[in-house]
Structure 1
Amino acid sequence: MTLWSLFRQGDAVTQAVALLLLGMSVASWVAICWKAWLLRRAVADVGRATAAFWQSADLDDARARLAAFDRDALLLPLVDAARAPAPGPLAARGDRAQQLTRVLRDALHGVLHRLQAGQVLLATVGATAPFVGLLGTVWGIYHALIGLVGAGQVTIDKVSGPVGEALLMTAAGLAVAIPAVLGYNVFGRFIARIEADLEGFARDLRELLAQPVSSDTEGRAP
């Protein structure tokens, strides 16, 4: 007995559960492949782009270098936000350090939101797929037992076949959930590493731009 034959012989509930598991599996694998590609690039780009930024002569040169290394725009939003003027009267209040803290925090949240995309999907699939499969198993066992009621003498051979077929739904639910859980945990570690690097870059950028520009005559005795 295969999942396909179980699907063909099942009723509407069994078929709906099987289709739901199939959709969850496809969605999770698409998210896994996409995030693996994205985070692999991001880990490499953040290190190279950060090094290129601090080796630049000025902010204009630094931004030009970032455009070449920062392919997924992880550092560029931070630099652009720090260079842009305050967006409104209230945002312009306070010293330069406070203004930079606000704009860099907002830009960092936007970047992290893109990196976190797909994590909720993987967590949802990993948490719910086993129960969806279990629902299909319980429903299949119920129908198998109902069918055996009018079959006369019930033996272990007649029970084991339908029950074993129904248990395939539980196995399918676990097969869908396990890759999603593994992907969520692995990607979470990479995202945490990238987040730490971005926060460090934002903090260093804030300290750099918050310093007042010194002149040659500042601090000289009259």
Structure 2
Amino acid sequence: MNVRDAMAYLELLWSTYVVGLNHQKQQNSIYAPVANAVVDAFRGVFDPRAWRRRAAGLARLARDGLWSWLAGNWFSWRGGLAAMVFCLALVGLFHALRAIGRRLRRRFARRHQPGRDHTTLGVRFYHRLETLFGRHGVTRAAGATQREFATAAAGHLVRLPAGQPLASLPRQIADAFYRVRFGQQQLDKDETEAVERALIALEAALRATGPSRPQARS
């Protein structure tokens, strides 16, 4: 295109869109499109069908985009299987640790429960004392305390030929029983051995006299 052709084209544009732009051309070329665009936009704001179409389009876009991202970037059957196995392993480990914790708590509670193991130990050695004297007619009356029984046992010993030196042993055993049973104390090695020696000495002294019929003691 030369200069003459360009000037001719500019004259055509000037005459058509500037000089020849009458009222009808202004309406058709400028005002009508603008008015139609405004009316369409206003209708789109208040038209329920337009909103439904927009919502459906957004839903399709979100759904397709999400599945495309999952399929292409994160999700795979191998990853899902690995995650499932990992979660199951965590659940199994949790239950195993909880079971072990319950067992340890029960064992600790049995070992440190007040009066349980100590009471059993106290009942054992004190029960031996009552059994020994019960064979020789000395029994603990209903309502009598362990110390009262020890006093009755000492009274029985002083009447025996070789029982006088041993008369204090029943009270010593009863005192040890009270410490274990009610004081929640545990006998150490020396104290346990002393109780055992006292029971053996009492058993030997009572055996030397022979058994007798049980006698009720108040």
**Structure of greater relative contact order (alpha carbons < 8 Å, 6+ residues apart):** 1
**TM-score, normalising length from structure 1?**
0.25
Give the greater-gyration-radius structure (CA): 2
TM-score, normalised with respect to structure 2 = 0.26
